[in-house]
Amino acid sequence: MPATLLLREVADGLMRNPLVASVEVRSARGETLVRLPDGPPPEVSDDIEPMHAERLLSSPFDESESVGVFVIRANQTRVNGIARQEALLLAAMMIGQAVLLALLLCGAVAVLISQPIIKLARNMRAMTPGSTERLYTPARHRRDEIGSLIGGAVADGSALSVLCIDLDGFKQVNDEHGHEAGDQVLKVCAERMNAVVRRSTDLAGRLGGDEFLVALRDVGPLELTLSATVANLLSVLCEPVILSGGTAVRVGASIGIACAPRDGTDRATLFELADANMYEVKRTGKNNFAMAVAPEPCDRH
């Protein structure tokens, strides 16, 4: 029958696809009109659910009238093999991306961790063995270091003196000679402070602008070490600074002092009191120091 020959040609064309295992055309009564390959339907393993597609064949004269059904079964083994290959390829790509990301993250973490360690090693190598030199403390951590000093002193029952230092006349230097000259003055003053505050247990650092802070461990308000340190600081900070162009400029220093545990046992209290004493010096003449006076004991008679 011409119709059967036409259906066989169509089925034969579908069989050329390697993913197609069999093609079958059945009439509306269930009779097999075409089956490729010839013979009984291929056996299917119980553990494999074969993929197949069924398509109703409608009458060319009336689409609502079914004249048969087209059944196409997939070559499940080949489909699974291709799917496995694609899955493996996709998994390999994902694993490769994960490995690459891990390597990048490890590299970034290694750089972040190694940089401060390398910097610390270089700084330690540059220090003179047996000297009282201190490692540089970044400005953002200096208040934390002061807090640690205060906490250690309070825990040990030791004394601690905190000095707030403001450079007098620094704004005038900045205005008359420029910010570069101001930076030179700040650097020289910092070096002079470090030369005075030499013990490894002490700390000297810049808080910001022209304001500095010095902390002296195991030094109380009545000790000669405190008065000698303050006198030396005032002396060196008042010496002229020679700028890179050869011009000599001068600044002074106003110093406010607070002592633990007499004036307080926390960083905020000591900072506030030392800062207030420093501004009292600036208000009353500058180039001097001021320290809170211990309160007189109450008369309980």
Q: What pLDDT score does 129 carry?
A: 57
Count of CA atoms in the C-beta half-sphere (13 A) of 261: 9
Q: What pLDDT score does 235 carry?
A: 94
Contact 260, 160 (CB under 8 A): yes
| In the predicted structure, residue 58 carries a pLDDT above the cut 60 | yes
Contact 250, 238 (CB under 8 A): yes
Residue 106 neighbours by CB distance under 10 Å: 10
Question: Taking the domains of the chain in order of start, what are their residue ranges?
Answer: 2-74, 90-126, 139-291
Q: Look up residue 155 and give its two tokens.
A: 């825990």
Q: Is 296 helix (H, G, I), strand (E, B) or coil?
A: coil
What's the whole-model pTM score?
Answer: 0.52
Percent of the chain with pLDDT over 90: 24
pLDDT-derived band of residue 2, with 50, 70 and 90 as boundaries?
low
Q: What pLDDT score does 112 carry?
A: 64
Q: Look up residue 255 and give its two tokens.
A: 């110093």
* Average pLDDT of the residues in 163-187: 91
Helix (H), strand (E) at residue 290:
strand 288-291
Q: What pLDDT score does 301 carry?
A: 42
Domain 139-291, CATH:
3.30.70.270
DSSP 43: P
The residues facing 56 across adjacent strands are 69
Of 255, 253, 254, 256, the closest CA to residue 238 belongs to: 253
* Average pLDDT of the residues in 274-293: 87
C-alpha distances in Å from residue 27, one per residue of 14, 55, 62, 135, 234: 19, 12, 16, 94, 113
pLDDT tens digits, residue range 65-122? Answer: 676 777 777 777 777 777 777 776 776 677 667 657 666 766 666 666 666 656 656 6
| In the predicted structure, residue 27 carries a pLDDT above the cut 60 | yes
pLDDT, the chain, mean: 77
